[in-house]
Structure 1
Amino acid sequence: MRKRSFVAVAFAALLAVGLFGLAGCTGSGTYQPELKSAEVAPPVIGEEGTLRVGVNTENPPLAGMGSGKIIGIDVDIAAALADELGLKLSVVDVGSDPAGALANGTVDVVLGIDDSASDGDFWRSASYLPTGIALFALSPDAGIPTQDSGATFAAQVSSKSAWAVSNGFGESSLTPTDSLKEAFEALEAGSVQYVAADAVIGLYAAHGQGLDVSIVAMLMSPTGYCMGVSNENVDLQTAAGDVLARLVSDGTINVIERKWLGTTVALGDLTVVSDLTASAADAATGSDSEDVGDFDSGDADTGDSGDTGSEDTGSGDSSDGSDESGDTGSGDDSGSEDSGDAGDSGSSGDEDAAE
């Protein structure tokens, strides 16, 4: 009898502990990781405890508007950057004037700067994401076209990619399409052998269409996207530059690429089949960005990502909420509505990725 009483008491105790634990798990509070100690403070940054990051929302999938907020590769990278610096995050749309935003103190850093562009008097980091005009095929064994191979290409009309094809292979080789989506549909149907497109936006478009493609060659030497900081702000150049380099080396940015693009962007070992340069393409076609269509975090594969705890403070034209710009680590994904889910896009903005 005494043994039975002891078992009953022990069971009651375990039940009480279980109920207490369950109550704790189902509380109304939401877990938010504790921020790291801030590595920088004013006057190195303009606002105490917050990193203000400028992006261009006319340049998806690096950054754009989706579901009423700023989302994209650069937003995810900004969240990781802020978290590593121990800061909250404010994402600000600086449009096509990053230099002006840095000069007037609207933002602390800007992302999505083409490292081949000479305009803008500010410090540039090393590239964190490569790009360039690429040739896509349905198979990695499709081969590299030559000028006399009779190869056929699809590219969005009036884009730098279309100009590169015409310049390198002749106008008769080109099938111009109204959108990059249509170009990949032509590739899938077998009416062309290759699609010419910006490497990043092409991967984003194909991934959004559920199409498995390979980059087999480049039509220009790869360039890349980098971070900009005011020339005078040497302390932030060092602090933010070191963190960005670490995000590249430790694979964090690869995770973000896979979220948006379905793969990482590796262009360094590809054959360049033309002597076209980025500046020559810009001079020949102009640099007007083209709309990538409906841009939403739901287009991206959310992958495995975790909340960095960065927050958006609503400064300027910023995205709302830290959880909408801040998941970058490993862990459970918080949902496709969260623009900061790290894992898979950025573009040079020269193709229309979708209708």
Structure 2
Amino acid sequence: MKNMKKLLCVALGAALSVSLLASCSGGSSSTPAPETTTPAETTPAETTPAETAAAGDLSSALIEDGKLIMSTNAQFPPYEMVADGEGFNGTGFEGIDIEIASALADKLGLELVIDDMEFDSALLAVQNNAADMMLAGLSYSEDRDEVMDFTDSYATGVQVVIVKDGSDVTMDNLGDYMIGTQRGTTGYIYASDTPENGGYGEDHVIAYDNGATAVQELINGTIDAVIIDQAPAEEYVAANADAGLTILDGAWVEEQYCVAVDEGNTVLLDALNNALNELINDGTVQTIIDKYITAD
């Protein structure tokens, strides 16, 4: 296959840190006091950029005051999954994105609300003001950038290719076979693009509602390969151990996962970016990732 470029998420909001402005109010009397006194200096309580953003006019940037509504597609393990029980913090869901979203909401003093839907619908929910943000193993693309704004990256996603054991499919001849992807993902966007742009053409790609369906169609023999992110790929291969699936060596493409908000919602974008970078810098994000993905 032709080489795919590595995508970097663009921080479209403010820089990683903001200056905290401390205001001191003091009035001056029209009649000077007989004796000059020096008022005691007041040191403002130390606050983080995320707390400053939360204390500002964030409510105007939210769909519902006091709530942070997240759209996702909870069929993308280990980033988002429907839990067997109550899930993380009673949300009914679990995964890397779920815990990061919960930590963001805590930083901003908001209640996290999670709406699970198809991937395409989750994208539209943000654009149509039905959700404040989207986390779903979501990566930056130029097409998405026209209608959404993206935070800084919080994780690297590596897309790989799943095939059946003994398959003749390789990275080099992938475009000669039928490929399955999840609808609306960058895997579909890149693979279905023209060969001139590094893709294989729409005739060689079938989009499915989710990765699990694509993998099942690979098992059924409808398609010859599935392009999907590495972490869920490993989950699907393990869950179908009797089907004889394997992952081709090497990365098909590397991307950076980000949080997305509606285009132009800079108030929310800045608040999320501040909170996200605090969680990255204090090790919270890496701890969450390590909980679900164990390095070999």
TM-score (norm 2): 0.50
Aligned-partner Cα distance in 1 for 2:80–2:98: 7
Aligned-partner Cα distance in 1 for 2:63–2:169: 43
**Residues 68 and 132 of structure 2 are in contact (CA less than 8 Å); yes or no, is this contact kept in structure 1?**
yes
Alpha carbons of 1:252 and 1:204: their partners in 2 closer, same or farther (altered >3 Å)? Answer: farther
Alpha carbons of 1:249 and 1:76: their partners in 2 closer, same or farther (altered >3 Å)? Answer: same
Aligned-partner Cα distance in 1 for 2:228–2:129: 35
2:106 is equivalent to residue 80 of structure 1: no
Match of 1:243 in 2: 275
| Contiguous gaps of at least 5 residues in structure 2 | 1-50, 86-91, 178-213, 220-226, 241-246
Alpha-carbon shift at residue 162 of structure 1 (Å): 8.9
Alpha-carbon shift at residue 76 of structure 1 (Å): 0.7
2:132 is equivalent to residue 108 of structure 1: yes
Aligned-partner Cα distance in 2 for 1:206–1:251: 30
Aligned partner of 2:149 among 101, 118, 123: 123
Aligned partner of 1:42 among 29, 42, 59: 59
The code of the aligned residue for 1:60 comes to P
Write the deviation string for residues 83-122 of structure 1: whole angstroms up to 9, x where unpaired: 1111121111242223321233221111122224634611
Superposition pairs for residues 321-340 of structure 1, below 5 Å?
A: none
Aligned-partner Cα distance in 1 for 2:78–2:143: 22
Alpha-carbon shift at residue 163 of structure 1 (Å): 5.5
2:238 is equivalent to residue 199 of structure 1: no
Match of 2:180 in 1: none
**Residues 58 and 95 of structure 1 are in contact (CA less than 8 Å); yes or no, is this contact kept in structure 2?**
no
The code of the aligned residue for 1:51 comes to L
Match of 2:195 in 1: none
Match of 1:229 in 2: 261
| Contiguous gaps of at least 5 residues in structure 1 | 1-35, 135-153, 172-177, 184-195, 210-214, 265-355
Alpha carbons of 1:66 and 1:233: their partners in 2 closer, same or farther (altered >3 Å)? Answer: same
Alpha carbons of 1:217 and 1:92: their partners in 2 closer, same or farther (altered >3 Å)? Answer: same
Alpha-carbon shift at residue 237 of structure 1 (Å): 0.8
**Residues 99 and 121 of structure 1 are in contact (CA less than 8 Å); yes or no, is this contact kept in structure 2?**
no
TM-score (norm 1): 0.43
Aligned-partner Cα distance in 1 for 2:248–2:281: 25
Match of 1:23 in 2: none
Give the RMSD, CA atoms, in angstroms: 3.9
Aligned-partner Cα distance in 2 for 1:108–1:197: 26
**Residues 155 and 162 of structure 1 are in contact (CA less than 8 Å); yes or no, is this contact kept in structure 2?**
no
Match of 1:336 in 2: none
Superposition pairs for residues 84-163 of structure 1, below 5 Å?
A: 84-96=107-119, 97-112=121-136, 113-116=138-141, 118-119=143-144, 121-133=147-159, 155-157=162-164
Aligned partner of 2:94 among 71, 80, 92: 71
3-state SS, counterpart of residue 276 of structure 2:
helix
